[in-house]
Amino acid sequence: MSSRIDQIVAAHIKRFKTNDPFKIAAANNIMVKFWTFSNNEVFGIYRYERRNRFVFINRNLPISQQIFTCGHEVFHALYHTRMNTLFLSKNTLYPVGRFEREASEYSTKLLLYGISKNSDMTKESVCKEYGIPYEMQQYM
C-alpha cells in the first residue's frame, strides 16, 4: 500500500469533491477525447503537447473500463506531465514500470474512495461491482 498515492487521492477528493476522473480532468483543464484506435488493444493514451494535456480513451471499451482508464491517464497528466504514455494493452494489463503502477493504483483507489470495506465482499467481487480490472486487486 502506497501512502503517497493514498494522500494524493484524499487530497483530490477533498479539493474536487468528487472521485469522478472525468470531472477531475475538467477541473485541471485536461482535455478528454474518445477515440477509435486502429489497435483495439490500446486502452488509452496521455499526450502532452505545447502546454496542453490530452487524454484519449478507446471508445470501444466498456464504460467501466473507460472510467478506470480516464483515472489512470489523469494521474499521468497531473504527475507525469511531460511524459507521453500509452496505457496498457489487453495483453499487458499488469503495469510494468513505476509510473504505470502509480497511475493504476491511483485510478483504483480513486474509484473505490469512501467505499466501506464490507467483510462479506471479496476483492474480486469489489472489482466486479465497481468496474475495476481484476488485476488491480493488489492496490486494494
Using pLDDT thresholds of 50, 70 and 90, give the confidence band for residue 42: confident
Yes or no: say if 21 and 71 are a contact pair by the CB < 8 Å rule: yes
Q: Give the C-alpha separation, 17 to 75, whole Å.
A: 17
Total domains in the chain come to 1
pLDDT score recorded for residue 91:
43
Q: Give the C-alpha separation, 27 to 2, whole Å.
A: 25
CATH of the domain at 82: 1.10.10.2910
Structural domain for 97, as ranges: 3-135
- CA 47, 48, 52: angle at the middle one, nearest 5? 120
Using pLDDT thresholds of 50, 70 and 90, give the confidence band for residue 133: confident
Residue 73 within a domain: yes
Residue 140 within a domain: no
Quote the radius of gyration of the chain (alpha carbons, Å). 14
Residue 130 within a domain: yes
Q: Read off the pLDDT of residues 81-112 as tens digits, 9 standing for 90 and up.
A: 777 665 544 444 544 677 888 899 999 999 99
Higher-confidence residue of 15 and 122: namely: 15
Residue 96 within a domain: yes
Which residue stretches of the chain are H helix?
Answer: 3-16, 21-27, 63-79, 98-112, 123-130
Average pLDDT over residues 2-19: 92
Q: Is pLDDT above 90 for 137?
A: no
